[in-house]
């Protein structure tokens, strides 16, 4: 249900963008900009240079459009060869391939390590995208 809500919210935000790809800011734990993620899935560094892409089908690509991973609708995170490298749980828990907790993403976009220390902020960005950026 939460994924459906996030998806619908994302679609609504895309519609409000009027066709222009806007960027949401990703910051570190001290609120310094580390990246921008545009509504079309383009990932840019703090200087707005493209460093990657996340496609609608969950394919994650580098700046040269080479596939580096996959985000599955069930929360499974895979590398380019489709080997599982992690899991994104509905409650925001991020796990490695062996189900060890490596972090958390709260509903407000706060990104925390396994010990709940804040390591970043990604408000308004789909949880799976933020998880890929910070943990994979």
- Check whether 14 has a pLDDT greater than 50: no
pLDDT at residue number 101 = 97
Please state whether the predicted TM-score (pTM) of the whole model is above 0.75: yes
Question: Are 47 and 60 contacting, i.e. CB atoms less than 8 angstroms apart?
Answer: no
CA distances from 59 to 31, 67, 80 (A): 28, 7, 9
pLDDT, tens digit (0-9, with 9 covering 90-100), for 60-90:
999 999 999 999 999 999 999 999 999 999 9
- Mean pLDDT for 13-37 is 72
Instruction: State percent of the chain over pLDDT 90.
Output: 68
Stronger pLDDT, 125 or 101, i.e. the higher one:
101
Question: Are 37 and 27 contacting, i.e. CB atoms less than 8 angstroms apart?
Answer: no
DSSP state of 98: T
CA–CA separation, 88 and 109 (whole Å): 14
């Amino acid at each position: 249900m939460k994924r459906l809500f996030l998806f619908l919210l994302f679609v609504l935000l895309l519609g409000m963008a009027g066709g222009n790809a806007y960027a949401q800011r990703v910051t570190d734990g001290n609120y310094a900009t580390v990246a921008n993620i545009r509504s079309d899935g383009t990932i840019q560094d703090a200087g707005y240079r493209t460093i990657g892409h996340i496609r609608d089908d969950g394919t994650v690509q580098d700046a040269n459009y080479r596939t580096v991973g996959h985000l599955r609708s069930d929360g499974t995170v895979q590398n380019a060869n489709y080997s599982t490298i992690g899991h994104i749980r509905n409650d925001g828990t991020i796990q490695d391939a062996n189900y060890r907790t490596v972090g958390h993403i709260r509903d407000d976009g706060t990104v925390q390590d396994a010990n709940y220390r804040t390591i970043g902020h990604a408000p308004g960005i789909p949880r799976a995208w933020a998880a890929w950026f910070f943990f994979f």
